[in-house]
């Protein structure tokens, strides 16, 4: 009778240990996946920033103004007559 209690206790502890191990593996895999995605996004943002900086450095005055203000918008500075 006492041995069946020990067997159930050992089985429960084994199941808890296996589930804990699986939880740890899945957590670490998810963390690594998110870290890799953030690293890739950071590289893209830095590349975009560099491209924009090079574009701004090579622009003349009119091009810089168009970068700051959408040039396709109508001119709102005209007064109604």
Tell me whether residue 73 is in a domain: no
Token digits for 81? 């007559």
> What pLDDT is recorded for position 51?
67
Rounded distance, CA 18 to CA 24, Å? 10
Tell me whether residue 53 is in a domain: yes
The total number of structural domains in the chain stands at: 1
Tell me whether residue 15 is in a domain: yes
Q: Estimate to the nearest angstrom the gap between the alpha carbon of 61 and the chain centroid.
A: 35
Tell me whether residue 20 is in a domain: yes
Tell me whether residue 78 is in a domain: no
Rounded distance, CA 78 to CA 24, Å? 65
Rounded distance, CA 50 to CA 54, Å? 6
Question: Digits of tens for pLDDT over the chain (81 positions)?
Answer: 568 899 999 999 999 999 999 999 999 999 999 888 888 777 666 667 676 677 777 888 888 888 777 776 555 555 555
Tell me whether residue 61 is in a domain: yes
> What pLDDT is recorded for position 40?
76
Tell me whether residue 28 is in a domain: yes
For 20, the domain range is: 2-68
Tell me whether residue 41 is in a domain: yes
């Amino acid at each position: 009778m006492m041995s069946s209690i020990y067997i159930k206790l050992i089985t429960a502890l084994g199941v808890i240990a296996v589930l804990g191990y699986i939880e740890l593996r899945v957590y670490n895999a998810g963390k690594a996946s998110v870290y890799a995605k953030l690293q890739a996004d950071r590289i893209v943002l830095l590349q975009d920033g560099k491209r924009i900086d090079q574009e701004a450095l090579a622009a003349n005055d009119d091009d810089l103004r168009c970068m700051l203000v959408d040039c396709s918008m109508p001119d709102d500075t005209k007064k109604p007559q």
